[in-house]
Amino acid sequence: MLLDIKNKKILVTGGGGFLGSHLIEKLIERGVSMDNIFIPRSHEYDLRRRDDCEKVVKDRDIVIHLATKVGGIGYNQEKPGELFYDNMVMGAQMIDAAYKANVGKVVILGTVCAYPKFTPAPFKEEDLWNGYPEETNAPYGLAKKALLVEAQAYREEYGANIIYLLPVNLYGPRDTFDPSRSHVIPALIKKVVDAKFQNNDHIEVWGSGRATREFLYVEDAVEGIVLALEHYDKSEPVNLGSGKEISIKNLVEMICKILDFKGEIHWNTSKPDGQPRRLLDTSRAEQEFAFRAKTDFEEGLKKTIRWYVKERKLNY
């Protein structure tokens, strides 16, 4: 079944952010008019407030809930309560408000942080409940995982058409490079760029470098979201990833090579590695809506770096 989205009125929460801005472009590429896309701005609508959730879903055919409060390991350690509460309340209220406004379809974005700390790789969707998440991001991961429970419960009791996607770590142009909130790729790019242009002889990186991560280029991610919107109508969660992993050590070395930074890498092993491994089984997405990531990781990394240095008006 194909959901024709061209003439649908679509709400995209978080549409002004990193992922959201790319998703808006993808929807327009699919034929959706910008006049039919509503992006609620945080200075006008606080999605932690029930009445604001009701306002933004009114007369919408589709809701894509991307709005989130998120950051790297340090941010998760600093604000666990805030991350749990804000993400739980926003998502829970959006699901309920959308159902009560008779929205035709709702897409909820979860997180790879919802998986148990010691999930066997590659992570299968059935593994979600087989343990507690990695401690440094557990409040965030559990808040997002609770939205899966709500989505499935509303489908079972009310017949609400809500789907739940589990993206792995995203990266690409327009990512957040603020060191207080950035994830690993933008944080490392900024470290290396700063060191190179300040003529420093080393960079410091948290952890041991042994942990592995899987990354999904943002343009691939939004293709997956739109394919799921158009083709997927089941209650089971679906992983969105590239199906490939890389150690943090190899990632740092790749960034240094691209930027031609020849300084030393100092590993601060007093800082946490986070989850030991992250690698998703992406077979369900391929089977259900023919999604497969296309962007070569090194090429995606180069595009991200080029965007960042251009934004900072640097040359490398």
Chain segment 71-106, per-residue pLDDT in tens: 777 787 899 999 999 999 999 999 999 999 999 999
Residues in the chain: 316
> What percent of the chain lies above the pLDDT cut of 90?
90
Per-residue pLDDT at 303: 97
pLDDT for the residue numbered 34: 97
Does the structure show a pLDDT above 70 at 316? no
To the query of whether residue 132 is one of the catalytic residues in this protein, the response is no
Tell me the pTM.
Answer: 0.94
Edge-to-edge strand list for the sheet holding 245-247: 169-171, 212-217, 245-247
Fold topology of 10-171+215-244+277-294: Rossmann fold (3.40.50)
Res 180: pLDDT: 78
Q: Read off the pLDDT band of 254 (50, 70, 90).
A: very high
Is the pLDDT at 313 greater than 90? The verdict is no
Nearest Cα residue to 261 out of 206, 188, 171:
188
Query: Whole-number mean pLDDT of the chain?
Result: 95
The pLDDT of residue 314 is above 80 = no
For residue 232, the model assigns a pLDDT of 98
Contact 209, 247 (CB under 8 A): yes
Place 294 in a pLDDT band, splitting at 50, 70 and 90: very high
Q: How far apart are CA 281 and CA 242, in angstroms?
A: 9
pLDDT band at 150 (very low <50, low <70, confident <90, very high): very high
CA-based nearest residue to 188, from 308, 83, 63: 308
Query: Which of 75, 99, 115, 140 is the catalytic position?
Result: 140
Note the pLDDT tens digit of each residue in 20-54: 999 999 999 999 999 999 999 989 999 999 999 99
pLDDT band at 293 (very low <50, low <70, confident <90, very high): very high
223: left (phi over 0), alpha (psi -120 to 50) or beta: alpha
Give the pLDDT score at 182.
84
Band (202; pLDDT cuts 50, 70, 90): very high
Is the predicted pLDDT of residue 67 greater than 70, yes or no? yes
Instruction: Tell me whether strands 245-247 and 169-171 are parallel, antiparallel or unpaired.
Output: unpaired
Q: What span, in angstroms and rounded, lies between the C-alpha atoms of 109 and 254?
A: 29
